[in-house]
Amino acid sequence: VMQQTMFRVKDPKRPLDFYTKVLGMQLITVGDFPQWGFTVFFVGYPPEKDLGPVPAKEEDKFAYCMRVPGCIELTWNHGSEAEDADRVYNTGNSDATGSANGEKVRGGFGHIGITVPDVYEACQRFKDMGAEM
């Protein structure tokens, strides 16, 4: 079972709003590492019937999170929010962001899959909430 995948984010607010408000995931735990200049945010769909609710104590949340399958770790490298470019990380999908020679990088990230009852209804909801499609 896949436990997590990680995405780097320029500024945590926008992606956290997307994953929690648009996709309905829960923010399970946050790890702040100022000594290394980054913060991680773990979001997912905790299977509370199997694991119980997300613990209230901060010190218990990380261990709980590591038992939740399919989490997304959003890694914010401090300072990236101040960069001028709208996007500072390369998606690998015909994107030149961050490449040394300005050439587009191909064949990288594809997608994550979320199961929904009605894909057309979900897409309309995502659009209505401002998600890029």
pLDDT in tens, 38-85: 999 999 999 999 999 999 999 999 999 999 999 999 999 898 888 777
Residue 90 confidence (pLDDT): 57
Residue 96 confidence (pLDDT): 62
Residue 94 confidence (pLDDT): 60
Give the β-pairing of 4-9 and 71-77. parallel
Predicted TM-score (pTM) of the model is: 0.77
Give the β-pairing of 38-44 and 26-33. antiparallel
Q: Which of 93, 116, 117 is nearest to 105 (CA)?
A: 93
pLDDT at 14 over 60: yes
Judge contact between 10 and 117, C-beta under 8 A: no
Cβ within 8 Å of residue 28, ≥6 positions away? 42, 43, 44, 46, 54, 61, 64, 65, 68, 71
CA 23, CA 15: separation in Å to the nearest integer?
11
pLDDT in tens, 89-109: 656 556 666 666 777 665 556
Of the pLDDT bands very low, low, confident and very high (cuts 50, 70, 90), residue 115 is: confident
Judge contact between 88 and 15, C-beta under 8 A: no
pLDDT in tens, 15-42: 999 999 999 999 999 999 999 999 999 9
Beta bridge partners of 44: 26
Of the pLDDT bands very low, low, confident and very high (cuts 50, 70, 90), residue 13 is: very high
Tokens of 22: 């648009």
